[in-house]
Amino acid sequence: MVIARPIIGKHRNIKNRINVILFAIFLITPFIRIGGIPLVLIDIPARKFYVFGLIIWPQELYFLHILLLFLGFSLFFWTALAGRLWCGYACPQTLFTEVYDWIARLITKDRFGKPSMKKKDWAIVYFVWLMMSIFFSLVFLSYFKPIEETIKEVAQLSFFIPTTFIPKEWVIFMFLSTGTAMFNMVYFRENLCRLVCPYGRFQTALLDKHSPIVTYDVKRGEPRKQPSEKVGQQKGDCIDCKLCVLVCPTGIDIREGLQVGCLHCGLCVDACTTVMSKFNKETLIAYKTMEQIENPHSKIKYFRPRTAIYGSILTLLIIVFVYLLVVRVPIYTSVLRDKAISNIYIPNQGWRNGYEIHIGNLSFNPIDVEIQVESNHSFNKLIDSSEIHIKPEGYEKVRIILEYPESNGKLDKYSVPVSFIIVNKNNGKHKKVVKTYFTFPS
């Protein structure tokens, strides 16, 4: 387990500010309610997704697909443009590791991670980490289950499915989430970045010679100071203080070149800057591109084919997302054939087909809808009521029978196209059209 030594510097200050913002977003977001509606809630049992004022049903998951594509290409874009920013400044693994270590240092001061730490110190730290893991797991659970329901069930000691000793789903979730967090913080830590996370392995495909990366100036630094030499006797500028290794969250030595475990967090830059400033020299470790290493006077080219392509894709995804949002009709409709009245003939009346129309209200306001039938042929519509009231986020199933009168004469066709139009009477622009067929007995 790597416990990085704390360091003060430019990049540390930037990381602190970003950590506070991201951590606040994580802690606050699931508890925000606007008009009683969650800002973000992924309600899997109800198959509803509340995202920034929208309620998305499974039939509209293309919104989430576009969002995931946007996040994926954003990762490509920012990596090519500014390096591995995600890992160093925004990844939850990085964020939570620093939060856990910060709390541990508050408890044990400068003894944290050093041989001077006693078993008693570790016991206190692990206990506090366990409480933190439970709390963070509860916050994480609140993204999937309203916190009000969780608190109510905890107050009622309702941890098991009624009449059984089987834990409820949220209890299992809390147990697994807490256990995973503790295992990660107590043991696994940097191995998640070095062994599990795929991003470090395909970062070389996302970077090019114009992408900023954390680099070590080999020409100035080498040959570094040897153990037998005193400071100032070495030929290179590197005094081999190993502070860049001690502050690294994954424990790598950046002097060995770009590695999978390098998060590009810049802490080694702060460490080397601090040491070299004592000798009135520039830092040996800095954010540079491969082009700048070869040509020190060159500048970073932010606009190039790779960034232009990624940027164009992101722009296209934004346009598509906004367009689908603007033309979105908050009504879900599907039409199924009624198997009991698939196609029957009633003498002296005509031919009948039965349908089941499923209507969902994808808004937070009640609506009144009307079912209309559109076809090139004349049909009688048999329904209890042509107007249906649907409560907010509600769902109704309507049975309707279409009759083709015998007086019109049987058509010389097996089926004819029919369209059901579901119109929101409160807003005539909101309508859904579902096409189907009216069939005649063979």
pLDDT score of 206: 83
DSSP characters for 85-125?
A: HIIIII-HHHHHHHHHHHHHHHHHGGGTTSTT--HHHHHHH
Question: Which 3 state secondary structure label does DSSP give 418?
Answer: strand
Q: Amino acid identity, residue 405?
A: P
Joined together, the tokens standing for residue 168 give: 């409820």
Q: Crossing angle, helix 147-155 and helix 119-141, to 10 degrees?
A: 120
pLDDT score of 100: 97
pLDDT score of 409: 82
pLDDT score of 136: 97
Tell me how far apart the alpha carbons of residues 293 and 212 are, in angstroms, rounded to a whole number.
11
Alpha helix positions (H), 29-167: 62-82, 85, 92-108, 119-141, 147-155
**Residue found under tokens 């859904």:** 432
**Residue found under tokens 């070299």:** 276
- The answer to whether 330 touches 427, Cβ cutoff 8 Å, is no
pLDDT score of 203: 73
Tell me how far apart the alpha carbons of residues 95 and 3 are, in angstroms, rounded to a whole number.
14
Q: Amino acid identity, residue 291?
A: E
Residue ranges per structural domain of the chain = 10-62+81-198, 331-439
Average pLDDT for runs of 10 along the chain of length 442: 93 96 96 91 90 87 91 91 89 95 94 92 96 97 94 94 92 96 94 87 80 92 91 91 95 90 93 95 92 85 91 96 93 89 87 93 92 91 82 91 88 88 89 92 76
pLDDT score of 156: 93
- In degrees rounded to 5, what are phi and psi of residue 160? -120, 155
Question: Which 3 state secondary structure label does DSSP give 187?
Answer: helix
What's the CATH architecture for 331-439? Sandwich (2.60)
Beta partners for residue 372, in sequence order: 421
**Residue found under tokens 């196609």:** 343
- The answer to whether 361 touches 329, Cβ cutoff 8 Å, is no
Beta partners for residue 285, in sequence order: 216
CA distances from 291 to 34, 74, 256, 288 (A): 50, 23, 19, 8
